[in-house]
Amino acid sequence: MQTAQTMRRPSLSATTIVMLAAVLIAFVLGGFGGYAVKAVTSPGSVASRAAAACPTGMHAVVWYTAKTWACQADS
């Protein structure tokens, strides 16, 4: 004799929903933090100093991890 079985999808647990919400909030706050820093700093003064420091035919290359920059030939 055959019996009918209903297929049930496993529902999302509360822990999974909380973790997804936490990751989403972290991305939103991180993105907002980046825009807030861009609004506070003045990009014109930093870019003009770096561009003026390199001779013609060269551009500034920045290594953020080493907190330094140098001039490199345009190619």
Q: List pLDDT tens digits, range 21-39.
A: 999 998 888 877 766 656 6
Three-class secondary structure of residue 36 per DSSP:
helix
Alpha carbons 9 and 29: distance in angstroms, whole number: 33
Q: What is the pTM of this model?
A: 0.37
Strand partners, 50: none
Number of domains in the chain: 2
Average confidence score pLDDT of the chain: 76
Residues 50 and 72 in one domain: yes
| Residue 58 lies inside a defined structural domain of this protein | yes
| Residue 6 lies inside a defined structural domain of this protein | no
The yes-or-no verdict on residue 16 having pLDDT over 70 is: yes
Alpha carbons 49 and 71: distance in angstroms, whole number: 12
| Residue 55 lies inside a defined structural domain of this protein | yes
More confident residue, 58 or 45: 58
Task: Note down the domain range covering 50.
Answer: 45-75
| Residue 20 lies inside a defined structural domain of this protein | yes
User: Helix %, strand %, coil % for the chain, to 5?
Assistant: 50, 15, 35
Q: List pLDDT tens digits, range 37-53.
A: 566 555 555 555 544 67
